Amino acid sequence: MAVLFSEIFAFLIILLVLYRYVWPVLSRMATRQQDTIQAQVDASETAERDLEESQRRFESALVEARDEVAKIRDTARADAERIREELREQADREVQRIRQRGAEQLIAQRDQTVRQLQGEMGGLMMALAERIIVESLSHDERRVSTVDHFLDELDQMAGSETNEVGARLSVASSMSSTSGSRA
């Protein structure tokens, strides 16, 4: 039994040495390891929270970016539609202006053509009238009947205005004397 006590005593001494010198070192190492692990767990949780926060901010920014893109797209479409309408209105105004100018040019050309034709017709009418008068006044009988016919028409037109008829008679007689001298 003495051996047993000595073995127990040696065992207790070893336990005492282990408890006194080794246990604090092991305890500190375990505490450090535990602190390190806890720090890593805390860092991991912090990183996870930061990651979640970053993901929320990213998703929020993505939603805002999509909204902004939609606004820009809508604005661009509205601007394009407005520009298209402005260009259409401008083209319509230009077409109207060209049509109006064309119509004005057509009217001006028509008026010019009418004036030219009137001038030519006036000249032709004068030549024809002169030829008819010369032919009709070339014979004395015709001259007298033409002057009488002219005077009758004047009387009908003038009615009671004999002064005008008298003036025209004198003109007609001077014409007949001028025509007679031509013939």
Taking residue 146's Cβ as centre, other Cβ atoms within 10 Å add up to 19
The residue ranking higher by pLDDT, 131 or 103, is 103
Report the alpha-carbon distance of residue 31 to residue 22 in Å, rounded: 14
Question: pLDDT-derived band of residue 172, with 50, 70 and 90 as boundaries?
Answer: low
**d(C-alpha 44, C-alpha 37), whole Å:** 10
Cα distances (Å, whole numbers) of residue 128 to 131, 139, 168: 5, 18, 22
Residue 1 makes CB contacts below 8 A (sequence gap 6+) with: none
Task: Look at 169 and 118; give whichever has higher pLDDT.
Answer: 118
pLDDT value for 165: 44
pLDDT digits (tens, 9 = 90+) for 113-135: 988 888 888 787 777 777 777 77
* Distance, CA of 144 to CA of 169 (rounded, Å): 12
Among 95-99, 105-109, 140-144, 155-159, where is mean pLDDT lowest? 140-144
Kindly report, residue by residue over 43-67, the tens digit of the pLDDT: 999 999 999 999 999 999 999 999 9
